[in-house]
């Protein structure tokens, strides 16, 4: 434990901590009064050696997800240490683990851990959180934010997160050490909030069996069925600094043009100061290097200082804000760069007015393609409004920036009397008005650059796996299809990836019906060769591809299933694929199935059962079982696309 040089204050706190730490073992769950993290007096070096951690308190990671204690053993004993300074949060994890396995996405399917931070204002369970996935894949440390406020893989840049992992398989020990800049953990600033929730979930997989050890019991630590996570509430104790230290937080990352824009400086100082200077530079649409200066003073201790950004003629777009704090001697003591997005209400309403006017026109009434393309624009108005009114203030701005750019692109097309389409050769998101409940439902789409509306084109329907949206999956599939066109000369295809009403609905009920509605919608926009519609899915999406191809055998030519389940989770009511095969016979369909022999998320036995059934029923199929492969980490697209090429070209309507 690193103690303040002034001695007495932190000595008392340290004694209180030690007493509380012993009580942890006698209580059901860790309590906030027992859990204290101290500010360090120096930066911790991230090298996996843990030389800088001597004397810092160690916390046992010893709960099951249901709250039972785990006894220390050579199979799994996990401890963690936490610390922080003005810029970074630090963690060191030691695990005694007799067998180390590191497949892809190891934090979920092998050895690794999740580190979750949550806003304690809602108690030990919160819908405002970050979950980091930490693991080792092919001897390389892997770090990513896997969930932010219920959104899986939000795309937050983690390049500034430092990570070192040192495994010792002979001794059955592994050490993790990392630092996370507070600039990533917005809005947490320990100078501004002295409490924050933390959970650490260590995963140990031994020969297919997976065990968990948690700092705080949370059965839903990685579920797609809830947007909340649980954690223990820690007290952050700031040391008395030798010199003034600064943290900064803007009140939001997104604003309307006429909203107040404010930032807060937290300055922790060992003495009173005056003559310091706040200086900011603002750059954005129509705003070039606008400077703002303000002299200020502060007292000994912790100071909270608010600064309002000067009013500007804010246009819609991204703004870069650079803030510096200069001391009385003219030295730069603090610098931080931030970005925020502004939506100009007037501009947005002008776009909406053009949309409404187009709906009243002759083209909308008479041209089905034009009319059916309009939800592509309409859904973005809904997304933007919901984001500006309901999104947390410090959520990333990439989505709102993208949607506003797309509103401009699609509005230009509509103004020119063209459908609200994106340029050929790009991946975009379209929407249709559902016949189920009248809502707008989105899907991603890729239309090849050389699409010819006079020639019918094959359709490839890609179903995403559990816990991820369809966008990244669609981008990857478009890349694979383009590669196959160049390397294997496969027929050109339009690719769609339905969101299907959520990330984890297993393509049951309205989720499955939505896939069919997406297909019908794209058929109304493009000349689809209805004899060549292929459905594909991975994991949960594999189940969806099985299920929908068997329920709609006249709709699909073939199904490509990767690591696919043959039944949904027990808590969902859905068909077992073996039973569905028996009922539908499926003889019009062709299947290509790939599964990893070491799959620890969907065991290979599921695929083997399905293959036995296909053989027994005489249904055409190809099966590849990848030796030593897990749930992911294999690539059999070359074989798949060769098979598809022959399958599509087998019929008279050859697409070239």
- Quote the DSSP letter at residue 246: E
**Range 387-394 contact pairs with CB under 8 angstroms and sequence separation of 24 or more:** 387/254, 388/254, 388/256, 388/343, 391/254, 392/128, 392/149, 393/187, 393/251, 393/252, 393/253, 393/254, 394/186, 394/187, 394/252, 394/253
Using CA atoms of 381, 511, 145, 205 in order, give the dihedral in degrees to the nearest 10.
180
Q: What Å distances lie between residue 136 and 90, 107, 131, 133, 639, CA to CA?
A: 19, 9, 17, 10, 29
Helix axes 510-525, 540-551, angle to 10 degrees: 70
What does the pLDDT read at residue 210?
74
pLDDT value of position 631: 84
**Which phi and psi (to 5°) does residue 109 adopt?**
-110, -10
Q: Does domain 422-649 correspond to CATH entry 3.40.50.1820?
A: yes
The CATH fold assigned to 8-237 is Immunoglobulin-like (2.60.40)
* Nearest by Cα to 384 from 410, 417, 358, 357: 410
- Nearest CA to 566 out of 589, 554, 582, 555 is that of 582
Tokens at 171, concatenated: 């001794």
Q: What is the pLDDT of residues 250-287, one digit of tens each?
A: 999 999 999 999 999 999 999 999 999 999 999 999 77
pLDDT in the model for residue 637: 92
3-state SS class at 578: helix
| 617 neighbors 588 (Cβ within 8 angstroms) | no
- Give the Cα separation of 94 and 177 in Å (integer): 9
Q: Can you give the three-state secondary structure of 483-542, one letter per residue?
A: HHHHHHCCCCEEEEEECCCCCCCCCCCHHHHHHHHHHHHHHHHCCEEEEEEEEEEECHHH
Q: What is the pTM of this model?
A: 0.84
Distance CA 172, CA 156 (A): 33
**What is the C-alpha to C-alpha distance for residues 57 and 38, in angstroms, rounded to an integer?**
9
Beta strands at 129-137 and 112-118: parallel, antiparallel or unpaired: antiparallel
Distance of CA 144 to the CA centre of its chain: 9
Which residues are within 8 A (CB) of 218 and not within 5 positions of it... i.e. 6 or more apart? 65, 199, 201, 229, 230, 231
CATH number of 245-343: 2.60.40.3880
Low-confidence ranges of the chain (pLDDT < 50): 1-27, 105-107, 651-656
Instruction: Calculate the alpha carbon distances from 15 to 1, 8, 12, 54, 607 in Å.
Output: 11, 11, 5, 17, 57
Cα–Cα nearest to 122, from 203, 195, 180: 195
Where exactly are the structural domains of the chain?
Answer: 8-237, 245-343, 345-421, 422-649
Report the C-alpha gap between 513 and 581 in whole angstroms.
19
CA angle at 426 for the pair 425 and 430, rounded to the nearest 5°? 120
Q: Tell which residue, 294, 197, 295, 308, has the closest CA to residue 261.
A: 308
Separation of alpha carbons 429 and 445, rounded Å? 6
**Could you tell me the strand order of the sheet in which 317-326 lies?**
254-256, 332-343, 317-326, 273-284, 287-298
The phi, psi pair for 632, rounded to 5°, reads: -130, -170
pLDDT of residue 36: 96
Structure tokens given for 291: 């400077």
Task: Let me know if the fold of 8-237 is the same as that of 245-343.
Answer: yes
Distance CA 616, CA 107 (A): 38
């Amino acid at each position: 434990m690193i103690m303040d040089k002034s001695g007495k204050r932190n000595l008392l706190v340290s004694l209180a901590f030690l007493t509380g730490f012993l009580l942890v073992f006698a209580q059901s769950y860790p309590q906030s009064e027992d859990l204290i993290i101290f500010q360090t007096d120096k930066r911790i070096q991230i090298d996996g050696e843990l030389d800088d951690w001597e004397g810092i308190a160690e916390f046992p990671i010893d709960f099951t997800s249901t709250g039972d204690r785990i006894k220390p053993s050579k199979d799994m004993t996990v401890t963690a240490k936490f610390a922080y300074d003005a810029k970074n949060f630090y963690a060191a994890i030691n695990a005694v683990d007799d067998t180390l396995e590191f497949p892809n996405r190891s934090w979920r399917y092998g050895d690794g851990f999740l580190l979750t931070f949550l806003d304690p204002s809602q108690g030990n369970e919160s819908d405002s959180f970050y979950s980091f996935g930490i693991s080792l894949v092919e001897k390389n440390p892997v770090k990513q934010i896997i969930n932010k406020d219920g959104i899986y893989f939000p795309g937050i840049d983690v390049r500034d997160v430092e990570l070192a992992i040192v495994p010792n398989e002979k001794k059955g020990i592994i050490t993790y050490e990392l630092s996370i800049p507070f600039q990533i953990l917005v809005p947490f600033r320990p100078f501004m909030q002295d409490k924050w929730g933390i959970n650490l979930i260590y995963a140990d997989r031994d020969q297919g069996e997976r065990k968990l050890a948690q700092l705080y019991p949370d059965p839903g630590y990685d579920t797609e069925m809830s947007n909340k996570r649980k954690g223990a509430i820690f007290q952050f104790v700031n040391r008395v600094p030798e010199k003034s230290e600064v943290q900064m937080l803007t009140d939001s990352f997104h604003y309307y043009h006429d909203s107040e824009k404010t930032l807060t400086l937290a300055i922790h100082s060992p003495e009173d100061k005056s003559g310091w200077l706040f200086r900011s530079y603002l750059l954005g649409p129509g705003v070039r290097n606008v400077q703002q200066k303000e002299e200020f003073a502060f007292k000994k201790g912790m100071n909270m200082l608010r600064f309002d950004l000067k009013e500007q003629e804010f246009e819609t777009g991204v703004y870069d804000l650079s803030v510096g704090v200069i001391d009385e001697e003219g030295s730069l003591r603090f610098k931080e760069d931030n970005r925020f997005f502004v939506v100009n209400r007037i501009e947005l309403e002008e776009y909406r007015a053009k949309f409404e006017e187009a709906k009243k026109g002759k083209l909308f009434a008479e041209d089905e393609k034009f009319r059916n393309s309009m939800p592509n624009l309409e859904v973005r108005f809904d997304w933007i409004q919901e984001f500006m009114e309901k999104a947390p203030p410090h959520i990333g701005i990439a989505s709102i920036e993208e949607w506003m750019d797309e509103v401009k692109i699609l509005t230009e097309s509509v103004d020119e009397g063209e459908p609200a389409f994106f340029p050929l050769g790009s991946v975009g998101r379209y929407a249709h008005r559902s016949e189920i409940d009248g809502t707008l439902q989105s899907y991603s789409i890729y239309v090849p650059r050389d699409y010819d509306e006079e020639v019918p084109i094959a359709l490839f329907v890609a179903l995403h796996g559990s816990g991820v949206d369809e966008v990244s999956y669609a981008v990857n599939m478009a890349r694979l299809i383009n590669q196959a066109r160049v390397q294997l000369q496969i027929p050109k295809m339009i690719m769609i990836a339905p969101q299907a009403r959520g990330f984890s609905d297993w393509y049951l009920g309205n989720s499955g019906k939505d896939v069919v509605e997406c297909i019908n919608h794209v058929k109304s926009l493009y000349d689809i060769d209805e004899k060549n519609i292929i459905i594909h899915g991975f994991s949960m999406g594999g189940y969806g591809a099985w299920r929908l191809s068997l329920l709609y055998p006249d709709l699909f030519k073939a199904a490509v299933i990767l690591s696919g389940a043959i039944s949904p989770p027990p808590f969902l009511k859905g068909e077992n694929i073996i039973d569905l095969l028996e009922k539908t016979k499926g003889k019009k369909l062709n299947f290509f199935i790939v599964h990893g022999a070491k799959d620890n998320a969907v065991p290979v036995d599921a695929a083997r059962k399905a293959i036995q059934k296909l053989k027994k029923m005489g249904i055409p199929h190809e099966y590849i079982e990848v030796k030593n492969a897990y749930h992911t980490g294999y690539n059999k697209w070359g074989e798949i696309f060769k098979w598809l090429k022959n399958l599509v070209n087998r019929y008279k309507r050859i697409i070239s």
